[in-house]
């Protein structure tokens, strides 16, 4: 499938990955309709920070994936749907699991049903590496067992199975996109890299973290959104689950020390008990296989960890960007 001139819908377009995907799709020559979650401030999230010429090139719709009628109106006339809208913070899923069911499962159902009703040519459902839980074998390929180690991951497993059922039951052209740990400019303060960087740039000498032993497969956001685009273009990905991974891992402790060495070598890591996950809920190891995406698409990672971190740090150093984060607070 060629994306140029396609009418595409992006849910969760106001978020971290979603806003970067909107930019990628504009570069691909798409006509983009972007869903931003409704709020009374008329805020479009990170879309508000895009250059004016990019904002004027997209149609922004305020709404909520939990509204089935709203999703029907959103999807009508679309060729391709990229469904990214979700509640993603793991700690908050311990507090409000009902909200995660409503948004991540029922919201996905609404998008799938609307896409089926309007014969969308391709639907990309966003999964997460968290569905795998702690690695039972590495690198983790798409056949790895699913383990619901948090309410968040459990709802994403449910959403994935719903998407698969619509492919098998109704022949809906679905692809399940499974990014590993994406990072980069605009990432939420709930994630580990912004947590570390913002504390360091705020001049903290003690960097508060949870467990530092888990490992993660870190994918720079520009590589992630290119992955979405390449999965959309490939007809081979219909009915498939596809990882976006670097097939490399680093521990949280090593990552934190790398950032400390770059920004403030005098800082040290301290454990903050509040930031620790329940023992059986912590995902200790994530190292993804990217064999399948390389076989089915033209995607290859363009950023290594060093170049991705440098671009991320540079973005956070901009006072306007850094001012949007509260380094003194733990963001669940």
Paired residues of 268 in beta bridges: 206
Q: Are the CB atoms for 76 and 118 separated by under 8 Å?
A: yes
Give the C-alpha separation, 53 to 185, whole Å.
Answer: 20
Does the bond joining 275 to the residue before it have cis omega, within 30 degrees of 0?
A: no
Q: Are the CB atoms for 198 and 316 separated by under 8 Å?
A: yes
This prediction has a pTM of 0.98
Tabulate helix, strand, coil % of the chain (nearest 5).
Answer: 45, 15, 40
Which fold does the domain 7-183+219-244 belong to in CATH? Rossmann fold (3.40.50)
Q: Cα separations (Å) of 170 from 73, 163, 281, 313?
A: 21, 10, 35, 45
Q: Are the CB atoms for 178 and 128 separated by under 8 Å?
A: yes
Helix (H), strand (E) at residue 254: helix 252-263
Q: How many CA atoms lie within 13 A of 169 on its CB side?
A: 9
Q: Are the CB atoms for 232 and 303 separated by under 8 Å?
A: no
Paired residues of 31 in beta bridges: 7
Q: Is residue 243 left, alpha or beta, with left meaning phi > 0 and alpha meaning psi from -120 to 50?
A: beta
Q: Are the CB atoms for 98 and 152 separated by under 8 Å?
A: no
pLDDT of residue 332: 86
Give the C-alpha separation, 323 to 303, whole Å.
Answer: 27
Task: Map tokens 């799709």 to a residue.
Answer: 25
pLDDT of residue 331: 86
Tokens matching residue 110: 């609404």
Query: Which DSSP category does 89 fall into?
Result: -
Domain 192-216+248-284+304-322 homologous superfamily, CATH:
UDP-galactose 4-epimerase, domain 1 (3.90.25.10)
Going from N- to C-terminal start, the domains of the chain cover: 7-183+219-244, 192-216+248-284+304-322
DSSP, residue by residue, 193-245: HHHHHHHHHTT-SEEEES-S--EE-EEEHHHHHHHHHHHHH-GGGTT-EEEE-
pLDDT of residue 256: 98
Give the C-alpha separation, 111 to 107, whole Å.
Answer: 6
Give the C-alpha separation, 35 to 83, whole Å.
Answer: 10
Q: What is the mean pLDDT of each run of 10 residues along the chain (332 residues)?
A: 98 98 98 98 97 98 98 98 98 98 98 98 98 98 98 98 98 98 96 97 96 98 99 98 98 98 97 95 98 98 98 98 93 86
Quickly count: other Cβ atoms within 10 Å of residue 202's Cβ: 12
Task: Map tokens 């454990």 to a residue.
Answer: 271
Task: Map tokens 């805020």 to a residue.
Answer: 43
Q: Do 7-183+219-244 and 192-216+248-284+304-322 have matching folds?
A: no
pLDDT of residue 162: 98
């Amino acid at each position: 499938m060629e994306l140029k001139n396609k009418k595409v819908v992006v849910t969760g377009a106001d978020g971290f990955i979603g806003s970067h995907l909107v930019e990628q799709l504009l570069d691909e020559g798409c006509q983009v309709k972007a869903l931003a979650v409704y709020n009374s401030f008329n805020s479009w999230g990170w879309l508000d920070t895009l250059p004016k010429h990019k904002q004027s090139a997209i149609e922004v719709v305020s709404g909520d994936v939990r509204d089935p009628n709203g999703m029907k109106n959103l999807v009508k006339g679309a060729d391709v749907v990229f469904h990214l809208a979700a509640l993603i913070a793991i700690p908050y899923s311990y507090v409000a699991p009902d909200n995660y069911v409503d948004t991540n499962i029922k919201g996905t159902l609404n998008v799938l049903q609307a896409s089926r009703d309007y014969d969308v040519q391709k639907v990309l459902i966003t999964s997460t590496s968290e569905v795998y839980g702690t690695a039972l074998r590495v690198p983790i390929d798409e056949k790895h067992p699913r383990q619901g180690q948090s309410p968040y991951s459990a709802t994403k497993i449910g959403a994935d199975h719903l998407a698969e059922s619509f492919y098998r039951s109704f022949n809906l052209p679905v692809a399940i996109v499974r990014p590993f740990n994406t990072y980069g400019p605009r990432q939420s303060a709930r994630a580990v890299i912004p947590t570390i960087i913002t504390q360091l740039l705020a001049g903290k000498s003690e960097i508060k973290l949870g467990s530092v032993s888990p490992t993660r497969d870190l994918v720079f956001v520009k590589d992630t959104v290119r992955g979405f685009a390449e999965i959309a273009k490939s007809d081979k990905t219909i009915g498939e689950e596809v990882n976006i991974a670097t097939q490399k891992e680093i521990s949280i402790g090593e990552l934190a020390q790398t950032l400390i060495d770059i920004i403030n070598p005098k800082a040290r890591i301290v454990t903050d008990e509040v930031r620790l996950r329940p023992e059986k809920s912590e995902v200790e190891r994530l190292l993804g296989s990217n064999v399948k995406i390389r076989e089915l698409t033209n995607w290859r990672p363009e950023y290594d960890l060093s170049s991705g971190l440098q671009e991320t740090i540079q973005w956070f150093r901009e006072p306007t960007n850094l001012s949007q984060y509260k380094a003194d607070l733990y963001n669940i």
